[in-house]
Amino acid sequence: MSLIKYIDKKYYPDYGNQWDDVLFREYLLSKIDQSFECLDYGAGRGKVKQVNIRGMVKKIVGVDIDSEVLNNPHVDEAKLIRLTDLKIPYDDNSFDLVFSDNVFEHVECPEAVLQEIYRVLKSGGVFIVKTPNKYHYMPMIARITPLSFHKYYNNLRGRQTVDTFPTFYRCNCKSDLSKYASKIGFSQEGIEYWEGRPEYLRIFTITYIIGLIYERVVNSINLLAPFRSVFVFELKK
């Protein structure tokens, strides 16, 4: 543990827990306006405080398939989505901005979800997503291992098993995104890849060192950007 703390201090002094959510908050805040009506897709119980924009926009609502969303303190209003049809319970052209944080890796039917988001967005509205990159080593490992292993490993990292859900990674790379976006009618406004402190490898010194080397390589060579851990994209209606 002392070596892990040493690596933290020497190589990642500006990184804390949920560094990717901190970056996503900065990105999100650069896109919102006080007049906006916004939707947090997959809002959950509100455990990610970095996406709390309540009071900064005209209205923020949250939807999720989990009833815990009804207790989310970061939204003005919350509603449930039914797994049977994935319909968002709001009218057409309701929102200026929809965002989603670490949800799309869990989406089994991305085309249906994107179609619904397109429907509820106003003309000119944007959809902003942060999700793991399909071609990073952790999602690649996750795709070939069972959910029980994910729960076990996250438990080692100090994460509650209740927060570990099945993953599909069906819209977590540029090519998959382009396929769905063009089919539905979205225009692609931006794509970014982020790599930072290797959170999943910080439980052991040797794995942390391997993650550190990987991070330095993919951040120093632009051609390797598509192998960074976080995939961020923005779509416009």
Joined together, the tokens standing for residue 163 give: 């927060």
Local confidence band at 1 (pLDDT 50, 70, 90 cut-offs): low
Q: Which range marks the domain in which residue 126 is found? A: 2-236
pLDDT over threshold 90, residue 157: no
Structural tokens at position 72: 């989310």
Q: How confident is the prediction for the chain on average, in pLDDT?
A: 95
* Count of domains for the chain: 1
Query: Domain with 23 in it: what CATH number?
Result: 3.40.50.150
> What is the mean pLDDT of the segment spanning 2-24?
95
CA distance 95 to 170: 25
Q: Which residue has the higher pLDDT, 83 or 230?
A: 230
User: At residue 225, does pLDDT exceed 90?
Assistant: yes
For the segment 45-62, what is each residue's pLDDT rounded down to a tens digit? Answer: 999 999 999 999 999 999
pLDDT of residue 77: 98
Q: Which residue type does 130 have?
A: K
Residue 205 has pLDDT above 80, yes or no: yes
